[in-house]
Structure 1
Amino acid sequence: MFERFTDPARRAVVIAQEEARERRSARIGPEHLLLGILRCPGTPGEELLRAAGVGVDEVDRGLAGLRPADADALATLGIDLDEVRRAAEESFGPGALDRTGGRRGRWFAGHIPFEKASKKALELALREAIRLGDRTIGTEHLLLGLLHPEHAASRILGAYGVTLDGVRRAVAERGRRAG
């Protein structure tokens, strides 16, 4: 499938891997793909997001907004993340959890696999390109793949009014103007 990706879309995927590595993620998530698109200025996907007022800072804030829900969910199971952090730092020293995956091991070298949701987003990007009659998969198609409701990226972007139907219309309009 990657042979159908435009150079900017390939670059967005490479940047997504770099984002995952920098954020010490074991897998490339949809949020990393979204950040990869945003870090490819002048591409259709980035331009659509910028026009909607969405940049890296907005995505980072959206991701931070998703984390407390995870903490709340763990709290319902009797797990207090602050207590876990305190206990880890008491046993292993200050910042112990921040050091996990440090510069040793696979965090900074080698291939980082895609999360299942990211693989699905890439598959959906292909379907969106086919649906639009495009022969290649660009950053705009990657964005469309991320906007399907099962992805956290769609919830983050929805807060800025970026929707699957709206981006589909915008991409189709861009295609008509280019053609």
Structure 2
Amino acid sequence: MFERFTVAARGTVVQAREEAAALRHGHVGTEHLLLGMLGQADDPSTQVLVDAGLDLATARAAVVRLLGSGDDAQALAAIGVDLDAVREAVEAAFGEGALDGPAKGEERRGRGWFKAGGRSPFTPRAKKTLELSLRESIRLGSGHIAVGHLLLGLLREGRGLGARVIADHGLDFAAVRRAVEARLTESAG
């Protein structure tokens, strides 16, 4: 799928990882994908959000407000997730140390965009957003996946923190969708 990504769309994913690392989040979620999109300031689809007042700094502040920055345990506790209870349940089901990762010296499995040694993993909603961006590209008859398709995928997924940041900013998903589709059509023609 990633071979279809434009340079700017790839830049979005790279920046999403960088945003997650800078905020010291142990995952790459839809909120980080949104920040990565907004980091592509010259992209016409990103301009739809920027023109509505949702720029990178504003979105980053919203993400920090929702998740905090720093330790994942703090962020998850803020939304009511008890990591000790999660660890206990996982270890009861899969054995002690099941969440500790590969033993030192073991080769880690998984390559590419979703799993790579030392890189933050994509959340299921972020993965779904990337999948939906491909579907949006196909639906619009594009031969590639651009930043606009990523934004359409984020809107279509609709339940991640990236979508919440957009909604909390007072933007109507249907209006954003129409504007982004128009920008994609203009750039294709």
TM-score (norm: length of structure 1): 0.71
Shift of 1:135: 1.4
Equivalent of 2:170, from 151, 158, 161? 161
- The one-letter amino acid of 1:177's match is E
Shift of 1:53: 0.7
TM-superposition CA deviations, 1:85-125 (whole Å, max 9, x none): xxxxxxxxxxxxxxxxxxxxxxxx84322111110110111
Q: Any conservation in 1 of the 2:5–2:146 contact (CA below 8 Å)? A: yes
Please name the residue that 1:111 is paired with: 119
Please list every run of 5 or more consecutive structure 2 residues that lacks an aligned counterpart in the other structure.
Answer: 69-75, 83-116
Q: Any conservation in 2 of the 1:144–1:164 contact (CA below 8 Å)? A: no
For the residue of structure 2 that corresponds to 1:15, the secondary structure is helix
RMSD (Å), alpha carbons: 2.5
Please name the residue that 2:143 is paired with: 135
Shift of 1:70: 5.3
Q: Any conservation in 1 of the 2:28–2:121 contact (CA below 8 Å)? A: yes
1:71 counterpart = 2:67: no
TM-aligned CA distance change 1:171 to 1:60, over 3 Å: closer
Identity, in percent, stands at 42
Going by fraction, where is helix more abundant, 1 or 2?
A: 1
Q: Any conservation in 2 of the 1:126–1:141 contact (CA below 8 Å)? A: yes
TM-aligned CA distance change 1:64 to 1:70, over 3 Å: farther
Q: Any conservation in 1 of the 2:137–2:145 contact (CA below 8 Å)? A: yes
Q: Any conservation in 2 of the 1:38–1:45 contact (CA below 8 Å)? A: no
Equivalent of 2:153, from 145, 148, 154? 145
TM-superposition CA deviations, 1:147-168 (whole Å, max 9, x none): 2322111111012233432222
Q: Tell me the distance in 2 between the aligned counterparts of 1:27 and 1:38.
A: 18
TM-score (norm: length of structure 2): 0.68
Please list every run of 5 or more consecutive structure 1 residues that lacks an aligned counterpart in the other structure.
Answer: 78-108
For the residue of structure 1 that corresponds to 2:25, the secondary structure is coil
TM-aligned CA distance change 1:176 to 1:145, over 3 Å: closer
Aligned residues: 147
More displaced 10-residue stretch of structure 1: 166-175 or 2-11: 166-175
Please name the residue that 2:86 is paired with: none
